[in-house]
Amino acid sequence: MKDKKRTAEELEKYIDRPDSYASELDPALERVVDSLRHAASQSHPRPGFANELAQRLKEKEQTMSEKRFRPQWWQVLRRVAAGGVAVAALLALVLVAFGLFGGLEPEPAALDQEAETVTSFETVTATDGNFAGTEFVLATELSDEPEEAPLLTVLDVRLPRADGGQSALAAARNFGIADGTLYEAPNDPNGWIVMAEDGRNIVYRESDRPDGPIADLIYYNNPQAQRETGEPLPYAEAVQTAREFLQLPDDYEAAPEQMVPSSSVRTVHFYKVFEGHPIVGTEAAAEIAVSPGGQVAYARLMPVGVAPAGDPVRIKSDRQALDDLIHGESGYSFSYTYTASDPVQYFTPPPPEWEVGDAVTVDGWVNVLLPVNGGEPRVELRARDGATYLLTGPTVAELVDHSGGQIRVSGTVAEQKGPARWDLALASWEPLPPSEGQSGACHIGVFRRDVDAATLETDEGETYQLAYAPPELNGGERVEVCAEAFPAGDPVEWVRMASPPASEGGHSGSGGGGSGSVGVAETVVEAVAVTRTVTSSAGDGREVTESVVESVAGGEEGAAPASPYDLGEQVRVTGSLAGSIRVDGDRRDPQLVLLVDADEDPLTPAVAFPLTGDEALLEEMAEHYRLHLAVDGVVVAADPEPGGPDGQAIRVESFERVWPEQRLEAFLGRVQTETLEEREVVVFIDEETGQRYVLTTHYPGPEGEEQRWFVTGVVHPEETFAGLPLLEPAGISSGSNVDAAESAAELPLDKEIPVYNAGAVSGPPWMQGTLVIDDVVLGYQYRSVPGPDGDGEPRQLKPAWIFYGHNEDGTISFTIVVDATRSENGGS
Amino acid sequence: MMLAGDDEVLAKAASSDHAAFDTLYRRYVNRVYRYCYTHTHNAADAEDLTAQTFLAALESIRRYRGRGPFAAWLFTIARHKCNDYHRARYKRRDEALEKAERLPDLAAPDLAAHAYRQRIVDCVQRVLHVLSEDRQEAIRLRFWGGLNTRETAKVMGRSRAAVKMLVSRAIADLRERCLNEG
């Protein structure tokens, strides 16, 4: 136990001070920490987001200071949430944006005769939705074909299960590694590595997840090709090279060129094609990097399998899909690639030039692979400068327990196996203290080039001579130089240089670098936009300053419970009604969900079943907002998003109140977090009666104990917890109006289901201006990894129109995917 | 150079001085975004949650009394927002590109090192999701949120010792599953 505590203490110090703390940690743990740090650093908001939000905050602050109400969309959402719909209402809107309420979504209304239509122009300006104001230029032909397409089920296609690694060997042969040695993938019982003599290798990994094939992967690496420098291949050549190398079947096609090559390699994505329609998605199929010399340097493959799911469904034309998009009537997702205007260039020192027989001492990471069939381990050292050394000799087995750590080796160069790749006869070795193995420090300053030397003048006023100078770098440039040490008077053996410093020059945070290769920093961002709506009907002018509101379905955190029902099953389901009415012109669209308790624990989150059916019946149900209803109906298919109630909705046939006397009530009081029956719960104390209730949510939690809260909700007539009645909150708010109220009766009790007027807010700046649509194809968007709460359910893909294009100055290329299914199919 | 406690001083000033709030916002926006992103794996949702977090913080800043770290106060709001998101996910089924943001890091010409490191990073991100919720959250707050142990403990409502152990066990789990492959 003491060891565990000490490890925890050491980890804390290492996490907080990785560069300065000389830890006694297992180097493998340090490596995990470094990987986590790197993983965290890979998430960046898109450019412009911070400024956009800053502007929103400024406007919000002005609004608050002026004490005026402006129905900006987020304020409206809060107000509505306080009234009792919170996230449910917002999500209902989102659901509608993606057409997930099945039959609830009416056919798109006839276009305004004065509005521009897609069919009669080459340029059209979007009128609504996130693209409002954006000018689309059609550089491709639209058509009305086809009229139907199948839904697809993602098959559980896994790699051939390796029998003692034999399947991995077979796969390696397909990659040209005919005589590879089979190794265990360290710490991965489902993985194998096949390594060729020259270092080419594959990592063959079977999924250990129960919820799909996503983690069945093959990585291929060709270290020699990865070190090539030069002009990247033309895209078409890279596609051809990749296709030939991978021997991809005909039902895979390359994605259109979207990425400006950021380094010497050219990256190509291949998508599986089903009956002529690509299945797009960042993780689908294959990603291949081709070197300037035409070799595949890196590949990542994932098997993708699909099959038709039932009869074909009617779909929109691409004209209609675009029309819906520009009128804000369709959900969509987009991805885009942009090229930074202020790129960061990375450099590494040139590889060492050893002669056979040289006695050398090198620091680096040691990597040990154990052969599956016994025999000598394969021990490789990767030096900080990128060079690799295959260690040989009778003592290499000593390093097995140090795999992943940093060591210093001494030995004799036995053979050169390629650029920056040697065999080294090991003479001795020693573990390196982590603080020595890390890049010791980085300094920012100005690079100076003289006739005989290069120097760094740091911002702190120090001057260091540099052991090497990238030939591409001009004197006077701002740089960040990292080295294990900055000795005074001696040349600095730097390991990484960036110009300009990443903190000053754009958004690419990538490290590494290479011998003289100059790349344009580039970031691929994929994101999803939803059509948000605003309403003015909720803007009654009352001042509400609630801070945070809570979902109606609270309880324990974790995965959403799965539906206990089968498709087509006739059910009688009891739950409370939530949702909203979306109004767009004359159209009223009830978007209802029934919050169904999935088990007997009153504190677990409810499953929110979307409700479909006769519109009049749904309108009638909406009158019982927040109350418990018993619904008779049939379980029907809905979108199979992971985390949903098994991709199900309930088509309502009839309903009735469970407890006719039940009503929505309002309370004023305070909360406190308590532990009851070994569960941490939030207890609400009604200040008017002193009654204590257990809230079916964790919010507001301990942070809210000092505030006064206005809670609306229903008291469960039968359920209790720890002897206390359960209060199911519909809305929780605090603020000046709550503080000022003398009783709950003074505050509004929103018994009516909220009504939203359709509208939209502007999207990010890149979506404005002019966007050129180069091509449009009918395809599918691959459903990627289930999230943290992945439910393991089979995933279904809907037909979608995929619009490829670029912005006016060519700095952004984009893909917009629009749901192609019609409303009667559950589409938008 | 910022002094210790500078955030807290700014936060107290922020109720009447938007410039102070803006300074705090600039200081934390990327960290909050990253934290939200690792909850959502979706850039648009991460942006939305980040916006919700700061808007809520702006509305509530006058109630911040400086009795705890500002970072912990802010991330408590962010955590609530992210928890809302998770609770709601089963109701929300937009056509998300789940692994929405990718930084291929190909600007680094040393592709071998990149590939090796990226495999471990891929594994860490993938395996993180199968850890217990507490361990996940501790890792998210420490690495993606950039909080120290004290702040993380405050946000999670746990003791510092408990957070240290959560982080330590999570990292040990990740080591067992990910390290040293390939």
ipTM of the complex: 0.84
Q: Which two tokens stand for residue A816?
A: 């917009």
pLDDT at A320 over 50: yes
* Surface-to-core class of residue A616, CB atoms within 10 Å of its CB (0-12 exposed, 13-18 middle, 19+ buried): exposed
Among A42, A177, A459, most B C-beta atoms within 10 A, so best to mutate, is: A42
* Surface-to-core class of residue A739, CB atoms within 10 Å of its CB (0-12 exposed, 13-18 middle, 19+ buried): exposed
Q: What's the pLDDT score for residue B32?
A: 93
**Helix ranges, A648-795 (H):** 736-740
Please write the tens of the pLDDT for every residue from A111-148: 233 333 333 346 777 777 667 778 888 877 777 677 88
Chain A partners within 8 Å of B100 (Cβ): 335, 525-528
pLDDT interval class at A191 (50, 70, 90): confident
d(CA A712, CA A730): 5
Q: What's the pLDDT score for residue A633?
A: 92
d(CA B54, CA A534): 20
Selecting from B59, B119, B172 the residue whose C-beta is nearest the C-beta of A547 gives B59
pLDDT interval class at A356 (50, 70, 90): very high
Question: Quick one: closest CA in A to B164, which residue?
Answer: A8
Cβ contacts of A383 within 8 Å, gap of 6 or more: A362, A363, A364, A389
Q: Looking at mean pLDDT, say which of A59-68, A819-828, B67-76 comes out highest.
A: B67-76
pLDDT at A528 over 60: no
Q: What's the pLDDT score for residue A580?
A: 76
pLDDT interval class at A319 (50, 70, 90): confident
Q: What's the pLDDT score for residue A179?
A: 87
d(CA A820, CA A636): 20
pLDDT interval class at A688 (50, 70, 90): confident
- DSSP category for residue A353: -
Closest CA to A626 of A589, A667, A590, A593: A593
- In this structure, the number of other CB atoms found within 10 A of the CB of residue A583 comes to 16
Chain A partners within 8 Å of B55 (Cβ): 56-57, 60, 74
Q: Which two tokens stand for residue A477?
A: 């440039």
Q: What's the pLDDT score for residue A357?
A: 93
pLDDT interval class at A90 (50, 70, 90): very low
Q: What's the pLDDT score for residue B140?
A: 92
d(CA B168, CA B51): 31
**Helix ranges, A392-502 (H):** 434-437
**Helix ranges, A150-308 (H):** 166-174, 223-226, 235-246
Q: Which two tokens stand for residue A404?
A: 């992943």
pLDDT at A411 over 90: yes
DSSP string over B82-96:
HHHHHHHHTT-----
- Show which of residues 787-826 on chain A sit within 8 Å of chain B, judged by CB atoms: 787-790, 800, 817, 819
Please write the tens of the pLDDT for every residue from A199-246: 888 888 776 554 444 446 788 888 888 777 777 788 888 888 888 887
Share of chain B above pLDDT 70, in %: 75
> Reduced to 3 states, what is the DSSP secondary structure of residue B94?
coil
* Surface-to-core class of residue B13, CB atoms within 10 Å of its CB (0-12 exposed, 13-18 middle, 19+ buried): middle
Q: Answer yes or no: are the C-beta atoms of A304 and A272 closer than 8 Å.
A: yes
Among A1, A31, A72, A673, most B C-beta atoms within 10 A, so best to mutate, is: A31
pLDDT at B87 over 90: no
Closest CA to A242 of A263, A257, A229, A227: A257
Minimal CA separation from B74 to chain A, in Å: 11
pLDDT interval class at A523 (50, 70, 90): very low
> Reduced to 3 states, what is the DSSP secondary structure of residue B85?
helix
Cβ contacts of A475 within 8 Å, gap of 6 or more: A447, A448, A449
d(CA A557, CA B85): 11
Minimal CA separation from B141 to chain A, in Å: 10
**Please, what is the end-to-end C-alpha distance for chain B in angstroms?**
42
d(CA A552, CA A555): 10
pLDDT at A545 over 50: no
Q: Which two tokens stand for residue A771?
A: 């966007």
pLDDT at A516 over 60: no
Do A527 and B119 lie within an 8 Å CB cutoff?
no
Q: What's the pLDDT score for residue A605?
A: 60
Q: Is the dihedral of CA A632, A633, A639, A640 positive or negative?
A: positive
d(CA A471, CA A515): 10
d(CA A696, CA A682): 8
Please write the tens of the pLDDT for every residue from A692-711: 999 887 666 665 676 778 88
pTM: 0.45
* Surface-to-core class of residue A133, CB atoms within 10 Å of its CB (0-12 exposed, 13-18 middle, 19+ buried): middle
Selecting from A40, A191, A227 the residue whose C-beta is nearest the C-beta of B112 gives A227
The mean-pLDDT minimum among A203-212, A411-420, A663-672, A748-757 falls in A203-212
Q: What's the pLDDT score for residue B94?
A: 31
| Residue A696 contacts B, CB cutoff 8 Å | no
Number of helices followed by number of strands (H, E) in chain A = 12, 43
Please write the tens of the pLDDT for every residue from A279-290: 887 666 788 888
pLDDT interval class at A368 (50, 70, 90): confident
Q: Answer yes or no: are the C-beta atoms of A412 and A425 closer than 8 Å.
A: yes
Q: What's the pLDDT score for residue B103?
A: 25
Do B42 and A528 lie within an 8 Å CB cutoff?
yes
pLDDT at A51 over 70: yes
Do B43 and A526 lie within an 8 Å CB cutoff?
yes
Q: What's the pLDDT score for residue A18?
A: 63
Say which amino acid occupies A620.
E
Higher pLDDT, A161 or B12: B12
The mean-pLDDT minimum among A296-310, A345-359, A399-413, A530-544 falls in A530-544
- Show which of residues 411-450 on chain A sit within 8 Å of chain B, judged by CB atoms: none
Minimal CA separation from B38 to chain A, in Å: 8
Do B95 and A263 lie within an 8 Å CB cutoff?
no
Number of helices followed by number of strands (H, E) in chain B = 8, 1
Minimal CA separation from B138 to chain A, in Å: 12
pLDDT at A555 over 60: no
Block residue for tokens 């089903």: A274
pLDDT interval class at B111 (50, 70, 90): very low
- Show which of residues 594-623 on chain A sit within 8 Å of chain B, judged by CB atoms: 605, 607-608, 610
Exposed e or buried b for every residue in A657-682, given b needs 16+ CB within 10 A? ebeeebebebbbbbbebeeeeeeebb
d(CA B154, CA B75): 9
For residues A449-474, give the mean pLDDT.
85
What's the whole-number average pLDDT of chain B? 74
Q: What's the pLDDT score for residue A577?
A: 86
List, in sequence order, every residue forming a beta bridge with A57; answer none if it has no partner.
Answer: none
The mean-pLDDT minimum among A235-249, A412-426, A808-822 falls in A808-822
d(CA A153, CA A155): 6
Share of chain A above pLDDT 70, in %: 67
Cα-trace Rg, chain A: 31
Closest CA to B136 of B167, B159, B160: B167
| Residue B73 contacts A, CB cutoff 8 Å | yes
Do B175 and A29 lie within an 8 Å CB cutoff?
yes
For residues B162-170, give the mean pLDDT.
89
Cα-trace Rg, chain B: 18
Q: Which two tokens stand for residue A148?
A: 């139907």
- Show which of residues 142-171 on chain B sit within 8 Å of chain A, judged by CB atoms: 142-144, 146, 148-149, 157, 164-165, 167-168, 171
Closest CA to A72 of B13, B180, B114, B52: B52
d(CA A643, CA A636): 17
B166: alpha, beta or left, given left = phi > 0 and alpha = psi -120 to 50? alpha
Q: How many CA atoms does the CB half-sphere of A172 hold within 13 Å?
A: 28
Q: What's the pLDDT score for residue A446?
A: 92
List, in sequence order, every residue forming a beta bridge with A632; answer none if it has no partner.
Answer: A572, A654
- Show which of residues 1-40 on chain A sit within 8 Å of chain B, judged by CB atoms: 4-5, 7-9, 11-12, 15-16, 26, 28-29, 31-33, 35-40
Q: Residue A536's Cα: distance from chain center in Å?
A: 33
Q: Which two tokens stand for residue A391?
A: 């260690």
Question: Quick one: closest CA in B to A223, which residue?
Answer: B112
The mean-pLDDT minimum among A130-139, A481-490, B52-61 falls in A130-139
d(CA A721, CA A678): 11
d(CA B150, CA A178): 54
For residues B101-109, give the mean pLDDT.
27
What's the whole-number average pLDDT of chain A? 70
Minimal CA separation from B116 to chain A, in Å: 9
Chain B partners within 8 Å of A702 (Cβ): 157
For residues A263-273, give the mean pLDDT.
78
Higher pLDDT, B10 or A161: B10
pLDDT at A800 over 70: yes
pLDDT interval class at A514 (50, 70, 90): very low
Q: What's the pLDDT score for residue A518?
A: 19
Q: Looking at mean pLDDT, say which of A509-513, A580-584, B97-101, B146-150 comes out highest.
A: B146-150
Please write the tens of the pLDDT for every residue from A755-789: 765 443 333 445 557 788 888 889 888 754 443 33
- In this structure, the number of other CB atoms found within 10 A of the CB of residue A471 comes to 10
Selecting from B93, B100, B108 the residue whose C-beta is nearest the C-beta of A527 gives B100
d(CA A587, CA A519): 53
pLDDT at A513 over 70: no
For residues A797-807, give the mean pLDDT.
84
Q: Which two tokens stand for residue A240?
A: 């051809």
B113: alpha, beta or left, given left = phi > 0 and alpha = psi -120 to 50? alpha
Do A526 and B102 lie within an 8 Å CB cutoff?
yes
Say which amino acid occupies B181.
E
Question: Quick one: closest CA in B to A11, which residue?
Answer: B168
Q: What's the pLDDT score for residue A106?
A: 22
CA quadruple B166, B136, A524, B105: dihedral, nearest 10: 30
pLDDT at B90 over 80: no
Q: Which two tokens stand for residue B92?
A: 């929300």
